[in-house]
Amino acid sequence: MIIKGEILKHQRESMGLSQRSLADGICHQSLISRMESESHITSMVILQELCHRLQIDLDQIVSLEEPNYLNLNAVRSALNVGNYGIARQLLKKQCNIKHLPDEAKPLFHTLHAQLDLSARNFFGALNDLQSASVAVTPLQRNLILEIEMVTTEVWLKLKDCDKARYSNSIALKKLRNFQGIKHSVLDNNIIVGIYRQSAQLELEQKSLVVAEKFLRQAREYASKVTLTAELVRLNLVEGRLKKLQNEKRESCKAYIRAYTGAEQLGDTVMMDDIKPFLAEHKIDYFD
């Protein structure tokens, strides 16, 4: 497996650990030396133990150029911009779960769940997410959060707010725990999604003040993210909030930002979802 040896070395040195002390009880010192210089390891068990000792996420160490992950990351990139057709084609033709190592399987299931969600196969998505939850490791922190976020999204689509609220509460709790871990690097797009869902659920209860607080938190992280489908959803929720606050002009602006963003991404499914909100405000759009 290809890893980022320079990150391993930097983290070890920043913690004041020698190669021998890092390896103690896990592997031989020579393996640490090879990992740092050759960026390669064959044992996932050893790598997980080293990441735990170094207090860093497994995802920070595994290289995106690792063949087992390369196609899965291409699927995720396609999903982030709402290109479901390409994502489905990549996952079906280039990502055979039988050939994936165990640590890559929860990501496969999570991506498959997102495709099921886009196709409104909600219970298929829940089955995929259950498989992902069973297989994910404690050091795959971003993936743990993503699984909870997608689970919440399924329940939101099913209009089961009680189960969505429960899933979201778990996501928030885990997010806060992970943010408290030193050197933990979390995906800003996932954080935006969790806070956006929190705001959306508060809107269902007409808790506008709390919803606005969650939206502000989402916006803090959104500034660090390039245009994604999640940012479009964030604008859509903001439009609903502003409408409930009787701020019609701001509501219109948010819906227009959402539609423009979906249009830029070429996400026709999301564009169709936003059109009723535009029509409600008598805003013209072009097909």
* Domain assignments of the chain as residue spans, ordered by start: 2-63, 68-183, 187-286
pLDDT of residue 45: 76
pLDDT at residue number 194 = 98
Q: Residue 80 is encoded by which pair of tokens?
A: 């982030």
Q: So what's the pLDDT on residue 287?
A: 46
> Looking at the domain 187-286, which fold is it?
1.25.40
Which pLDDT score, from 0 to 100, does residue 144 have? 95
Q: CATH fold of 68-183, please?
A: 1.25.40
From residue 30, how far is each of 11, 21, 107, 258 by CA, in Å?
18, 12, 31, 53
Query: Any idea which residue has 């506008």 for tokens?
Result: 208
Cα dihedral 16, 19, 24, 27 sign: positive
Task: Give the pLDDT confidence score for residue 160 in this predicted structure.
Answer: 97
Same fold, 68-183 and 187-286: yes
| φ/ψ of residue 40, rounded to 5 | -150, 140
Within 13 A of 244's CA, how many CA atoms are on the CB side? Answer: 18
Classify domain 2-63 at the CATH topology level. 434 Repressor (Amino-terminal Domain) (1.10.260)
Closest CA relative to residue 135, chosen from 112, 104, 100: 104
- Please list the pLDDT of the chain residue by residue as tens digits (287 residues): 778 888 889 889 988 899 999 999 899 999 999 888 888 777 777 887 888 888 887 777 876 555 566 678 788 888 888 888 888 888 887 667 777 778 788 999 999 999 999 899 999 999 999 999 999 988 889 999 999 999 999 999 999 999 999 999 999 999 999 999 876 788 999 999 999 999 999 999 999 999 999 999 999 999 888 888 899 999 999 999 999 999 989 999 999 999 999 999 888 888 888 888 888 877 765 44
